Chains A and B, each alone.
Chain A
Amino acid sequence: MPSEQRLHPLSFLFGIGAHLRGFALPILVLLVTTGRSGLGWQIWFLWLAIPYAVVAVGRTLSYRYRYDEHELVIRTGFLFRNERHVPYARIQSVDGVQNIVHRLLDVVEVKVQTAGGKEPEAALSVLPLAAFEEMRRLVSARRPAAAPSDAAVPADATEATATTDRARILLALSPRELLLYGFVEGRGMVVIGAMLGVAWEFGFADPPIPWFVDRFVTDEDQPRKPGDGVFRFLARAIFKGGNDLLGNVVIGLATLFVFLIVVRLLSMAWAAVRLYGFTLTREGDDLRTAYGLLTRVEATIPLRRIQSLSLHEGPLHRLVGRVSARVDTAGSQPGQNAPPDRLWLAPLVAASELPALSRQVLPTLSLGDFVWQRVHPRAGRRITKALLILIGLAQLPLAVGVGWWGLLSLGILVPWASLHGRRSASAMAFAITDDLVAYRSGWLWRRTSIAPFARVQAVTLRESPFDRRHAMAGVSVDTAGASTDPRERIAIRYLVRSIAEQLHRQLAHEAARRTFRWR
């Protein structure tokens, strides 16, 4: 029997750390409050953390794993013992996450994922780096080779298996590209939100609060001073006709502009740190991504597990000629904020390099050859009509509350609804090739989802009463690991009814002809 291995000796620290994270806020509150009023009875609440610490130490000491011939065996527990067998063939990926403390200690948090369930099959927290590399190597070596008949397995899969050791870099994002990514994605508000959160937790926000309260909350003896804030100042300047209207408007716009720039800059910094050194490599039948400056993430995407590909481009993406690409798999992703089951193929890739990259995932895909079929010619009018009804309902209370001049905003909203209806309807289109189906939508933020027939789980034809009135119908395609966001699914609406019926029939038949494989 192969010898058993244990976790890294310092694992219990991370175990305690993980439990203490739940206590972080209460403890901080404790420290802050005791700092002001002296050590009080509250400190005794800290004893509550001790059972967690004992559990963490016990778990660390009892955790053992070994590599059997066909499976990974994990044993845990002293009192309640558990032995888990995970066959190598079922393992989808062995992923590692290293935050900054992990990196200082040369250890890594490992997650072993299989297809079933949302939780990782095994979470080994933490392993020495060498043990992680060994696990990866052993698991991928002992996993049986892919079935060659699968549509999603690239044609050169067998060649690639022969040269497993030679990894090919498919995409490496330079710092410049990362900054560009941060710029076009505009995630600066996330950073601001995080900073506010941190400031709040550590009490940095405490001094401004009394200041803020003093300024804006009125006392009985102190008359209120309206219009101290930038926006209120601006609003007052516009509506009350201040002494220097134009000057104030310019100052207000400049402030807004600077704010937007700061948000973009923060977003760029965020991207540079989070996705630092992003590389996508092809190793045999697996794609591997690695990124992160502080928290280092290494994730594996087995090609056989990829269910669909989705592309996303906003107006800024188009301006710089870039696209971002994700894949859906049946597993899940390490890392905190990212939605599960969605994996980066490329946060940002030049539009010209996209065809080559996407062929790695779906070998028969040639984006340029798609024959896009539009939706019903009256789709735009329906979208506009629905929007107008919504706008009307939203404007009603405004009109009652502010008076009829509140309806002035209709002057902008109505043309917008008409434009949005027309443009978004003309952006919607689907395409069918010999072995896959694609759907695109959105005119400002364009999304394209592509799924091979072999990955289609169910096909649905939908008709609402409104659809029937216009002789329209929708067709949606269900795949494993699909996003919960309906805009990122293949859910085609507003089709001409006869086309929808034909598409539904064709998709169901094509899917039935092909065997679905997890592996």
Chain B
Amino acid sequence: MESPQPLKPPSVADGVEHSLDSRSIDVNRISGAVFFGILLLIAFAGAVVAAIAASGPVWARLLLPFAAVPLLGVAFAWFVYRWPLVEHRHISYRLDEDGIAIRRGVFWRHAIDVPRNRVQHTDVSQGPVERNFGLGTLVIFTAGTEHARVTLGGLDHGVALRVRDHLLATGRDDAV
């Protein structure tokens, strides 16, 4: 692991709402593209099988795999391109002396506040795409039931580490 960066308290625990790193939009686009790409391939394979099995004029049978599926693909592509932008506008986090507050959700919105001294432990993880972009995901574990695991993806890896250090450095005795 790299040497810890010098912790400047105003830089993380500033009590200001921060958006996620803008690179996270591209990360979400890539993972969305992979997901919907696989979905499209399956749909295409199904359409080809249906076209072979069906009876009727050839042009009508080719309509499904070569017109309907590409149309679906265009719709998916638009969604995959647009949605991460919308999502990014609706996610923010705020750190202060009390703890961390995470807001998210486009239609169904929620804001979770986890007090600093309720954090049991934290993880900073990186998927392959995230690593490529230098991003990381912060995972906060609490003793709770519904929010036993609170995740915040799309942070700059260095920022994620600093947020983690801030959450863990309570100095108070609250261990299990």
Cβ distance B163 to chain A, nearest Cβ, rounded Å? 16
In the complex, chain B residues whose CB is within 8 Å of the CB of A330: 143
Interface centre among B109, B115, B142, by most chain A C-beta atoms within 10 angstroms, is B115
B108 touches A464 (CB 8 A): yes
Asked if residues B109 and A463 are in contact (CB atoms below 8 Å), the reply is yes
CB neighbours of B113 from chain A (8 A): 458-460, 504, 507-508, 511
User: Which residues of B from 112 to 164 have beta carbons under 8 Å from A?
Assistant: 112-118, 142-147, 150
Q: Bound complex: CA of A50 vs CA of B174, how far in Å?
A: 49
Q: Is the CB of A458 within 8 A of B109?
A: no
B23 within 8 A of A: no
From 82 to 102 in chain B, residues with beta carbon under 8 angstroms from any chain A beta carbon are 97-99, 101
Smallest distance from the beta carbon of B149 to chain A beta carbons, Å?
Answer: 11
| Interface size, A (range) | 35 or more
Asked if B176 contacts A462 (CB within 8 A), the reply is: no
Check A481 against B145 for contact (C-beta < 8 Å). yes
Given contacts A115-B176, A508-B101, contact A480 B145 (CB under 8 A): yes
Q: Which B residues lie within 8 Å of A509 (CB)?
A: 98
B108 — which chain A residues lie within 8 A by C-beta?
462-465
Judging by beta carbons under 8 Å apart, are B101 and A478 in contact?
A: no
Nearest residue, chain B, Cβ from A328: B145
Residues from chain A with Cβ under 8 Å of B111 in the complex:
460-461, 504
Q: How far is the CA of A509 from the CA of B15 in the complex (A)?
A: 13
Query: Per a CB cutoff under 8 Å, which of A460, A463, A484 touches B147?
Result: A460
We find that the number of chain B residues with CB closer than 8 angstroms to chain A is 28
A482 interface residue (CB < 8 Å to B)? yes
Q: Please pick, from B97, B114, B117, the residue contacting A458 in the complex, using a CB distance under 8 A.
A: B114
How many contacts between A and B, using CB within 8 angstroms? 91
Shortest CB-to-CB span from B112 to chain A, Å, is 5
**Cβ contacts under 8 Å, A457 to chain B:** 114, 118, 142-144, 147
Considering only residues 320-341 of chain A, those with a C-beta below 8 Å from chain B are 330
Give CA–CA (A465, B90) in the complex, Å: 14
What separation, in Å, do the CA atoms of A488 and B110 have in the docked complex?
Answer: 20
Is B78 engaged at the interface, CB distance under 8 Å to the other chain? Answer: no
Complex CA–CA separation, A47 to B109 (angstroms): 58
A480-B144 contact given A460-B112, A463-B109, A465-B107, CB 8 Å threshold: yes
Interface positions, chain B 8-58, Cβ under 8 Å from A, are none
Residues of A within 8 A of B145 (CB): 478-482, 484
**Residues of the A chain whose Cβ atoms lie less than 8 Å from the Cβ of B117:** 512, 514-516
B142 contacts A458, C-beta separation under 8 Å: yes
**Chain B's nearest CB lies how many Å from the CB of A74?**
21
Closest-by-CB residue of B relative to A484 is: B145
Q: Once the chains bind, are B109 and A478 in contact (CB under 8 Å)?
A: no
Cα separation A476 to B110 with both chains bound (whole Å) = 10
**CB pair B98 A512 closer than 8 Å:** yes
> What is the minimal beta-carbon distance from A6 to any residue of chain B, in angstroms?
31
Residue in B97, B98, B142, B176 whose CB lies within 8 Å of A478 = B142
1/0 contact trace for A493-519 toward B, CB 8 Å? 000000000001001110111111111
Q: How far is the CA of A484 from the CA of B144 in the complex (A)?
A: 12
* A504 partner residues in chain B, CB cutoff 8 A: 111, 113
Q: Which residue of A lies closest to B112 (CB)?
A: A460
CB pair A518–B176 under 8 Å, yes or no, is yes
Please give, as numbers and ranges, the residues of chain B lying within 8 Å of A481 by CB-CB distance: 145
Given contacts A478-B145, A511-B118, contact A458 B150 (CB under 8 A): yes
Chain A residues lying within 8 Å of B174, measured Cβ to Cβ, are 515-517
Q: How far is the CA of A511 from the CA of B145 in the complex (A)?
A: 16
Q: Is B173 an interface residue, CB under 8 A from the partner?
A: yes
Q: Is the CB of A508 within 8 A of B110?
A: no
Known: A478-B142, A478-B147. A511 touches B115 (CB 8 A): yes
Q: Give the residues in chain A near B176, CB-CB below 8 Å.
A: 90, 115-116, 518-519
Could you tell me if A512 and B146 are in contact, using CB atoms closer than 8 angstroms?
Answer: no
Selected contact of A464 from candidates B98, B107, B144, CB within 8 Å: B107
Q: Which residue of B lies closest to A307 (CB)?
A: B143
Q: Indicate if the CB atoms of B146 and A482 lie closer than 8 Å.
A: yes
Give the Cβ gap from B111 to chain A, nearest Cβ, in Å: 4
Q: Which residues of B contact A460 (CB under 8 A)?
A: 110-113, 147
Write out, one digit per residue, whether chain A residues 360-373 have a CB within 8 A of any chain B CB (1) or not (0). Answer: 00000000000000
Residue of B nearest to A147 (CB): B173
Indicate if the CB atoms of A508 and B143 lie closer than 8 Å.
no
8 A Cβ contacts from A442-476 to B: 456-465, 476
Q: How near does chain A come to B175, taking the closest CB pair, in angstroms?
A: 8
Check A478 against B144 for contact (C-beta < 8 Å). yes
Residue of A whose beta carbon sits closest to that of B176: A518
A484-B145, A511-B115 known; 9 other A-B pairs, CB under 8 Å? A457-B118, A457-B144, A458-B118, A460-B112, A462-B108, A465-B107, A479-B145, A511-B118, A516-B117
Binding site for B on A (CB under 8 A): 90, 115-116, 330, 456-465, 476, 478-482, 484, 489, 504, 507-509, 511-519
Q: What would 30 A/B residue contacts be, using CB atoms closer than 8 Å? A: A90-B176, A115-B176, A457-B143, A457-B144, A458-B113, A458-B114, A458-B115, A458-B118, A459-B112, A459-B113, A460-B112, A461-B111, A462-B108, A463-B105, A463-B110, A464-B107, A476-B146, A478-B142, A479-B144, A479-B145, A480-B144, A482-B145, A508-B99, A508-B101, A508-B113, A511-B113, A512-B97, A512-B117, A514-B117, A518-B143
